Amino acid sequence: MTQFRKTQDNIFKICIVVLSVIGLFVCTAILFPQVRQMIIASMHRELDMSLGIYKLLHSFAMGGIFFILFLDYCVLSNSGRKLTNIVKQEMKDCLSEIDFRNLAKPVFILFGVYLLGASTMIRSNFLFRDDIWRSVGGGRAWLDFSRYVTEFLSIFIHADTNLTDISPWPQLLAIFVVSISSVLLVYILCDRKINTAGLLASIPLGLSPYFINCLTFKFDAPYMALSILVSIVPFLFVSRKKAFVFCSIISLLIMCMTYQAASGIYMLIVIILGFQGWNSRSKPDKNIISFFGMAVFAFCMAMLMFRLFLMKPTTYDYGYTSTAMHQITHMIPGILNNIKDYAMTINNDFGFTWKMGIVFVCMLFIIKSVFSSVRKKSLAFIFSVLMIGISFVLSFGVYILLAKPLYELRCLYGFGVFLSILCIYIVYDYKKIAVIGALALNYCFFVFAFSYGNALADQERYAEFRIGLLWHDLSLLYPAQNDDAMILIQLENSIEFAPSIKNIAKHYPIIERMVPKRLGDNWDMYFLTHYNHTQNTKMNNLSDFFSSDEDDFRTLNLPVVLDSYYHTIKGDENRVLVVLKH
């Protein structure tokens, strides 16, 4: 038997060597510009149109060489195999210490809470942003943003390479993943203890206005939720150094390849765990410093690997965003400006009630930290305030370093995790006033989720009414559809909010960013022309990425052909300007 195992091991090593040689040869060949040009040419893409692919192939080749050499070290060398065995054993030890059966019930409890909160949103059946073109065209396009895991998993979730609208299945998956994330976050922060107060305190993770907006995406929601889960999982292995570092790097790479907006969650948890250990002296200071060092090393290593080997640089001329970072000479003022914009965005989004609730939770965090501290009270006060400030900044993730960060709602769900951490901290093993304060804020988020879902439904009904009238008038004015003639339609303004949304906005301004205005987005126009079988009609909104190579019909003094209560239509034979009235 021993001889058989040795023979088997030798055959395995030979196979690894052969595959490594082939892999290194291929990767090295791709490093040559001529080879990359041939690959792009075989893809029937013009080189000047494929600069991103050209650079990405080079990064993939470098990453492939790095991965092959690392794999050879782990498999072929004695020290590498020893390290691999240690990591595997440490991971087994950590997992054996977790009673997963006791985690199942809390997961299903939170699943019910989150599902109830998202019920009106799911019921609205609203095609949101990118859902519009994916439901019609079936394309994915996540590779353009280096979301390789999302691209891969979408094939399994949709059981096809062509995407179709299978809602609410992706949203149910997302809610389940977020439920697991909440339970694990409570489990990690509360010294492996789970209680009802802690579970309810974690609600902002899944029902903050920012993440409930993410759940609206029928196609993206599961991967946004997965980015949160993989940022939390490494802390199940925090008691074993090598397993923790390994799992952190792998998990952070997966996060980067699902949705990069979660890039700050990992360091948020690192900060709070380090603060807990320092404030209570439950761990020696040198152990806390060691933990910080390992976490920062793992985070920087994962970000560096993603940046060098996996990230596809993106720059958009139409003002959307890019992956470009601030120059070194402008890094500090650039970061400070991003922090200011981030804070102002959240301040403008949140109503007075929410802001007072957040201030109250922050005050309770400081009070608990000071009174429960075994350190000097003044020092505990300073560190607790710093903890809140640093955590707030980290909640924006690596976007804080970008020259042009994105402040869309789907990019800010790290703030909900930040609130969850504060709420979980103050309700764990503390007075009832803390529980009441945290749950009051979370109840506000829970109730708002119902308002949001109903607002989506109201907006959809109002928009369908307005769109139906517009399409009816256009069909009467331009009844003949000549396949050789393209009718160009430009829209000025968009369909305004329904009255119920204007009412909600009085106290919750964020609703006007959460609910899109119909006919204000060119993806919306793309859907309508296909939905109504008028593909020879091209529609553009003048305020949304208007192409400069087309004439602005507002300058042409087109004659008015119809003026109604809801819109004015101007045009000639194939040029139409629609002015939507508020």
Is 326 part of any domain?
Answer: yes
- The pLDDT, as a whole number, for residue 446 is 95
CA distances from residue 115 to 112, 195, 205, 380, 442 in whole angstroms, order as listed: 5, 20, 13, 39, 15
Same domain, 258 and 113: yes
Same domain, 481 and 379: no
Contact 197, 439 (CB under 8 A): yes
- The pLDDT, as a whole number, for residue 510 is 95
Same domain, 258 and 384: yes
Same domain, 134 and 248: yes
Tokens representing 228 are 């949160």
Burial of 439 (0-12, 13-18, 19+ CB in 10 A): middle
CA distances from residue 301 to 37, 245, 274, 296, 561 in whole angstroms, order as listed: 30, 10, 20, 8, 63
- 467: domain range? 456-580
Same domain, 468 and 386: no
* Strands 575-580 vs 487-492: parallel, antiparallel or unpaired: parallel
Same domain, 37 and 102: no
Same domain, 46 and 175: no
Same domain, 125 and 25: no
Is 448 part of any domain?
Answer: no
- The pLDDT, as a whole number, for residue 317 is 45
- The pLDDT, as a whole number, for residue 389 is 96
Same domain, 159 and 101: yes
- The pLDDT, as a whole number, for residue 47 is 41
DSSP helix/strand/coil, 508:
coil
Q: Which of 76, 105, 128 is the last residue of a domain?
A: 76
- Quote the CA–CA distance of 215 and 209 in Å, as a whole number: 10
Is this model's pTM higher than 0.85 or not?
Answer: yes
Same domain, 477 and 338: no
Tokens representing 337 are 């400006």
Is 238 part of any domain?
Answer: yes
Low-confidence ranges of the chain (pLDDT < 70): 1-6, 8, 34, 36-37, 39-56, 58, 313-322, 480-485, 522-523, 526-527, 530-536, 543-550
Contact 392, 418 (CB under 8 A): yes
Same domain, 128 and 55: no
Is 437 part of any domain?
Answer: no
Same domain, 258 and 331: yes
Contact 512, 497 (CB under 8 A): yes
- The pLDDT, as a whole number, for residue 532 is 64
- Quote the CA–CA distance of 217 and 126 in Å, as a whole number: 9
Give the count of domains, the chain: 3
Is 441 part of any domain?
Answer: no
